[in-house]
Structure 1
Amino acid sequence: MRVDLFDFDLPAENIALRPASPRDSARLLLVPGDGAMEDRIVRDLPSLLRAGDVLVFNDTRVIPAQLEGMRGEARIGATLHKRLGLRQWQAFLRNAKRVRDGDRIDFGAGVTAIAGPRDEDGGVTLDFEGEEPVEILLERAGRMPLPPYIASKRATDERDRSDYQTMFAREDGAVAAPTAALHFTPDLTAALAQAGVLTETLTLHVGAGTFLPVKADDTDDHRMHAEWGRIDQDTADRLNAARAAGGRIIAVGTTSLRLLESATGEDGVIRPFADETRIFITPGYRFRAIDGLMTNFHLPKSTLFMLVSALMGRDRMQQVYAHAIATGYRFYSYGDSSLLLP
C-alpha cells in the first residue's frame, strides 16, 4: 500500500510536551466498530469494559539510553536500542560518519565504549569498557530517550525519569516507553479489579526503531526493526482461558498488541514466546489474539497509524484522528488515549 494513504495534517499545538496530571485524568476517545465516538477520560475505563475482559500491559522498563560523547574533536550522540551481550549494545549514532570501527567514544562520567561495525539496520555496535554493569553506567551518564518530537522542543529533565515510566515497569531494556500504560494509576487499577476486569503483563523491549520514519513509498518496501519479547506459559494459559470464557483480550499499547499477535497461531491460541519480532501490521492483516486496543494518538505515515488502521479501517481512523485534532486531543507519547473496540 502507498504510505501517503496514512498521512494527515497535525497542528504542532496538538503535540503534548508533558503528561496529564494525575495520569488517569487524560482524555480517552472511545471508538466502537460502528456507532458514534464518545469523548471520555481514562478514569472511565471500568465502566467501558466488561467483567472478564483482560487488559494486557507491557512491563518493560525504560533505561536512560541516550548518551552524548566525544570521539576526538567530534561530538557523537548515541541511542542504545538493543542489547547484544553483557557489555555490548546496538546503537544509532548521531554524526555517525565521524566514527569508524575501533574508535573509542568518551561519554563522560567514566563511561567509554569502542565502536564496532555497522549492521544491516544502520546501527553501530558499542562495546562498553570496564567491569561495571552497563545499566549502572547509563544511570550515571545517560538521559531518558524522549521521542524526537518532544526532545526537539524542550530539554529532558529529572521529571522525565518518572513521567516516562509506567507503573508496571520492572524489566530493564526499553528505550521507549509503552506509552498507553502511562495513563494508569494504582487507584484506576483497583477500580478495574473491583469491576471484574483482569490484568496480565508481558515484556517487549521497545527499540529506538519505533521513532524512525517510514522512508519507503510503499509499505511492502519498509523493513521493521527487531524487538525482543517474552510471554511465559502461565500468562498464555490464563489469556486463552479468559478468552474461552467469553472475555475480551484488550492490548494496552501497540507493543503489547504486536507481541500478542506474534505469539498467536492461526488457530487463535496464544503460545509462550521468547524471541525477536519484526511483525508489521497493515490493513488486510487478520488479527488473531486481540479484541481491542487502548493506544495513544500516533504520527502521520507511521507504522503505528498503519496498525490502528488495520484494526479499525483506514477511513474510520482518518475520521477518528480528524475528530481528535478538531476537539483538542493531545498527541503522541505524553498525550491522550483512545479505546478501539472493533
Structure 2
Amino acid sequence: MSLHRRPRRLRRDGLRELVAETRLAPSDLVAPVFVDATTDERVSIESMPGQERVPLDAVVDRVQEVRATGVETVILFGIPEAKDARGTRADATDGVVQRAIRAIDDATDVTVISDVCLCEYTDHGHCGILEAEARDAPRLTVDNDATLDRLASTAASHAAAGADIVAPSAMTDGMVGAIRERLDSSGYADVPILSYAAKYESAFYGPFRDAADGAPAFGDRRHYQMDPRNGDEALREVALDIEQGADAVMVKPALAYLDVVSAVDRAVDVPVAAYNVSGEYAMLHAASDRGWLDLDATALESLNAIRRAGADLIVTYFAERIAAQL
C-alpha cells in the first residue's frame, strides 16, 4: 500500500480548521421567538427545554438576548388573545406579531422574519379556511383558494409593521404568487419572501404545537403538507414557488431531510433555508438529559451537517447556544 497520500496529515490541530470544507457562523442562524398575547410573564415550554413564550412587553428584551450571542435574525411566531374559524387576528393591525415587529424594529437592529400562516390563529388549528362541512367530515381540510387572500392579507400586515422578510408556511398552492402580488400592490415590493416551499407532514413537529398552540383540533395536515416519502416532489414545489416570486426557499424539517436540502441546493439559484425543527431539538435534549449524548457536541454536529448539505441559513432553537460557542 502506498503511503504517499495520508489524509491524516491535514487533521492535526492547527490544520483542521484551515482546510475545513464547511463553515458555520452565528450569522447563518435564525432564532425562533414565540410572542404570547395571553400572558404577562415568560412561560417555559416544557417539551422544548430552554425555550419560552414571552409577553409583548418582554419581546424586545428577548430579542436583545438573542442578538448578544451574535445571532442577527429572528423568526416570530404569535399566540393571539383570541381565535376563530378564519384566523381573524392573523392580519389585525394590532395583532400580537404586528405589535412585536414594530417594537423590535424600533429598539434593535435585528432582522425580523415573520411566519405567515393561520394555524396559530384558527380555533380548529388548520393552516387556512376550512372546506364546507369540514367540521362534520374530518377527511376534508383546507380550502386552498379561499385561504390565499387571508395569507396575502397577513403578509401585507406584517410588511406594514416593518417585517424584513415574510415567510409563508401554510403549504397552500399559489401562496407565494398571491403574497407577491399583494405586497407589490401595497407598496412593499422590496420585502422578500422566504417560502416554506418543501414542508413535510412530519412527526417531528410535536413540541412546536405545544409552543404555539397550533395542533389541529381534528384530522391532520397530510392533505396539504408533503408526504415524507417524496423527494422529487420537493423540487417541483420549490420550482413553483420560485416561479411565483419566492426570493428564498425552505426545507422543513432539516435533519431527516438532508437529501432534500442537498437536492434543492443543487437545483436552484436562490438562498436555501432549512428548519431544524422542535422534535429534532427536543430529542437531543432528551438524550442529553439521560447522559446518552453530549448536547453541545451533537447540536453543533447537527448544524454543521445541515450546512454541509447546502443550507445557506438554518432556523434552529439551538441558535443562541451554538452561536455562543462559535
Q: Do these two structures clear the TM 0.5 threshold for a shared fold by scoring above it?
A: no
Which gives a bigger RCO, structure 1 or 2 (Cα 8 Å, sep 6+)? 1
Per residue, is there more helix in 1 or in 2?
Answer: 2
Per residue, is there more strand in 1 or in 2?
Answer: 1
